[in-house]
Structure 1
């Protein structure tokens, strides 16, 4: 495969920009953007060489006439002239800032299955993780909707029950999904790719939070649960980062009226309801705290 483009904007700039005929390059003005957003944060005192930034990336949606998607090595977006677009492709290495896509070097995808439809990409690395499922997959649906590009199918991760539940809640039925496998190679009439939120690099933009809260909580008019005003979120079923004296902690918290919660046992709609009901949340750091999105204003959180 040939050398790639560092970003979608570089691919766009290398083509005609005014779309004078059908199925040529879309205009730069069709990068549907939010404004830049700044995260208020001071540089921490620590020994790490890489510090997360305080600037959220400027999101966009790019539509590639005749674009291809190859599911190998995480997933690559390939232009009609056989080049990878880096900022909307995936390469193994979650916390890397600069990718080189060596996995694809000197490799060529097989003949693609063609879809005479608009196909949007909603797959992501670590989509099995609740945090990344919300911010790297679900939140990007907001960009697609704001672009007003009609979408007939969506490329999604190989679906676990929780992923299936979330996509169904967001109005994407099974018959519209194309699940990623290493051997998947498709070509679409228009391959539509929303940018990533930046959450894998520690940045969570406000627009993504607002979209998820509106779609999953406010628009569904979720009612609060009695008895869940004070909750403790356990990591007892996690593979690491457990609280070693959790029994003693829970004995104390129970005396203060806290309820012990294992989120792994709860469907998404129930998770939302539990956090929406809470006045106080105590938890060790973990993906379960993504559900703070659904808390009421004024909720106290001890992490």
Structure 2
């Protein structure tokens, strides 16, 4: 008993005074997270060998034969730099100038990366160096995870990096009480081109970024790298190229790839870089508060990062996911925003949590917005959140699909909180502007859903799913069209499943229904969010509103998930109803089923 008490006293003492030396105690007690074991497990899980945990590696210009840089030599290179952010010995951080006096193969280049001479970090090296997480001031200040490996492996390492940063902050913070942010903060908008550069001026908010590897849309940066040509029946292709006809900038969102040739559904093209950025608004349409929480313009090149996450101390978190910390208010991408920089009313009475992960946002109770914009934000961080169950999760709703999703992924409902709150440590993952979900988040979430379905349902039936809407954007002559499609399903040996908005199936049944679909047919509406459960290659026919209400957000979702999309425009009526020629629908559906039949024959040959 006395020994146990002595150990506890020693641990508390080390937490307060010993800093990184506590790691030695944890190692002795068997409590410390073993990074080397994690790396071995990752290599086993993903078939990756000789991949460094952190860093971009290259051979030295000065020697013919390169050797791994030692921990001491890396530290020596770092001591010559002016680094405002740094970790203790268990986490190496670089600043950005070459140390010409070093005789080894370590190059701290102008980019702020450490270039190691070997592409292999052995378990021994990892145990010696712990980890190498690069702090770089350019292109903006962040702790960069640069490991070159398939995306799922990189996400594991990214989660480990966030966990290491968390441990460092907690160790330095100790038992310090929550501190009130400044009364008149500087407002920083995530939509600004210089958002990260602005944020770099405030050292109490730290960013962890998973860097974009090379320039192409490869498996280093994406799970799904191509999509079938997107097809539309005229005049939809004409509408999306007409200013004022669409709710978003067509030139940014659609990249001029709309075609009318039905056979194009069997062709694939690489995912364009435009898909990987947040999208600007169409100024000809109304947007809340003039669209300030949307990007200012669009890019044609890949982004600088795959994902990023901010870690802020002593934060006020609003009910829609804005945060106040120190002298800063961060407004992430959102469907709307609060223009006032003042703290939320009554914040001083809000509960103070030790740690909170933020996945709330404007319009977060809406089915589309929570399914496509908010729930995906947590998908890349499940490893981190499951390993640290004391972190609370702020959501827009504590029940419904949000809770159902998190429960199947191992997050207890008791961890969910909503409304304004205060947090000693707040984790703010990148958000997405209204309507066009972040690509990697959507792809990871869809894979998690599909893996979950496969875990308990091995034998799949095949069906056609038709979504029935009874409110806005209801399909005229719906019963006749549904009967026609049901007959086609029987003709091709498929089951017919009706997803009726007045008789919704359970969450599990919904997942299975859409996962087993070879074809989904739907009027534009929130029910189409369920294509997240579909397998890549599924055919998706959407009845789209007539201009000026054209909204192609599901085309975006379908293509980043690798679905075969076809849009059919309404002749009249939106937003009240959608009118489409039943004969056109039957022709398109039959064509899709013939294409599905052809693909089945090719796979079996």
TM-score (normalizing by structure 2): 0.40
Q: CA deviation at 1:153?
A: 0.5
In structure 2, the residue corresponding to 1:157 is in which secondary structure? coil
CA contact (8 A) 1:275 1:295 kept: yes
Distance 1:103 1:267, change over 3 A: farther
Aligned counterpart for 1:128 among listed residues 350, 365, 388: 365
1:194 is displaced (CA, Å) by: 0.5
> In the alignment, is the contact (CA less than 8 A) between 1:276 and 1:296 conserved in 2?
yes
Structure 1 position 292 matched with structure 2 position 531: yes
Deviations 1:237-286 (A, max 9, x none): xx300001112212322322333221561222211100111222221122
SS at match of 1:62: strand
| CA drift at 1:67 | 1.4
Structure 1 counterpart of 2:308: 60
Structure-1 residue corresponding to 2:511 = 272
Cα separation, 2, equivalents of 1:115 and 1:103: 23
Report whether the alignment pairs 1:141 with 2:319: no
The structural deviation recorded for 1:125 is 2.0
Alpha-carbon distance change, 287 to 39 in structure 1, aligned in 2, over 3 angstroms? farther
Q: Are positions 1:170 and 2:415 aligned together?
A: no
Contact 1:68-1:80 within 8 A present in 2 as well? no
What residue in structure 1 maps to residue 473 of structure 2? 241
1:21 aligns with none
Indicate if the aligned counterparts of 2:517 and 2:538 stay in contact, CA closer than 8 A: yes
1:212 corresponds to: 445
Aligned positions of 1:30-179 closer than 5 A? 30-33=208-211, 44-48=240-244, 50-52=248-250, 53-54=252-253, 55=274, 56-57=277-278, 58=305, 59-71=307-319, 74-81=320-327, 83-87=328-332, 94=335, 101-104=338-341, 110-113=347-350, 115=352, 117-145=354-382, 150=388, 152-179=391-418
Equivalent residue for 1:6?
A: 189
Q: Distance in 2 between matches of 1:260 and 1:284?
A: 13
Shift of 1:228: 5.2
Q: Distance in 2 between matches of 1:39 and 1:108?
A: 47
Cα deviation, residue 195, structure 1:
1.0
Match of 2:430 in 1: 195
Correspondence for 2:457 among 179, 203, 223 = 223
Is there any run of 5+ residues in structure 2 with no aligned partner, and where? 1-182, 218-224, 231-236, 254-273, 279-304, 491-495, 543-605
Note if contact 1:119-1:154 (Cα within 8 Å) is conserved in structure 2: yes
CA distance in 1: counterparts of 2:315 and 2:452, whole angstroms: 34
- Distance change >3 Å, CA 143–CA 33, structure 1 → 2: farther
Q: Pick the aligned partner of 2:485 from 230, 234, 253.
A: 253
CA–CA separation in structure 2 for the residues paired with 1:114 and 1:232: 45
Partner Cα distance (1:47, 1:124) in 2 = 29
Please report how far the alpha carbon of residue 179 of structure 1 lies from its aligned counterpart in structure 2 after TM superposition.
1.6
CA distance in 2, matches of 1:106, 1:78: 7
Q: Which has the larger radius of gyration?
A: 2
Tell me whether 144-153 or 61-70 shows the greater mean CA deviation: 144-153
Higher mean Cα deviation, 272-281 or 143-152?
A: 143-152
The answer as to whether partners of 1:154 and 1:176 remain within 8 angstroms in 2 is: yes
8 A contact 1:67–1:78 mirrored in 2:
yes
* Root-mean-square deviation over aligned CA pairs: 3.4
CA 1:143–1:67: 2 relative to 1, 3 Å? farther
Task: Please state how far the C-alpha of 1:114 moved relative to its aligned partner.
Answer: 5.4
Which TM-score applies when normalising by structure 1?
Answer: 0.76
Please report how far the alpha carbon of residue 293 of structure 1 lies from its aligned counterpart in structure 2 after TM superposition.
Answer: 2.7
Unaligned runs of 5+ in 1: 17-23
- In structure 2, distance between residues paired with 1:163 and 1:280: 26
- Structure 1 residues 265-274 or 204-213, which shifts more? 204-213
In the alignment, is the contact (CA less than 8 A) between 2:322 and 2:332 conserved in 1? no
Deviations 1:37-87 (A, max 9, x none): 79999993224275153432453100001111133xx44311122x32122
How far apart in 2 are the matches of 1:78 and 1:250?
Answer: 51
Higher helix share: 2
Question: Kindly tell me: are residues 226 and 119 of structure 1, through their superposed partners in 2, closer, same or farther at Cα, counting changes over 3 Å?
Answer: closer
CA distance in 1 between counterparts of 2:523 and 2:480 reads 15
After superposition, the Cα gap between the structure-2 partners of 1:286 and 1:135, relative to the gap in structure 1 and judged at 3 Å, is: same
Is contact 2:497-2:513 (8 Å) kept? Answer: no
How far, CA to CA, are the matches of 1:287 and 1:128 in structure 2? 12
Look up the SS of the partner of 1:283 in the other structure: strand
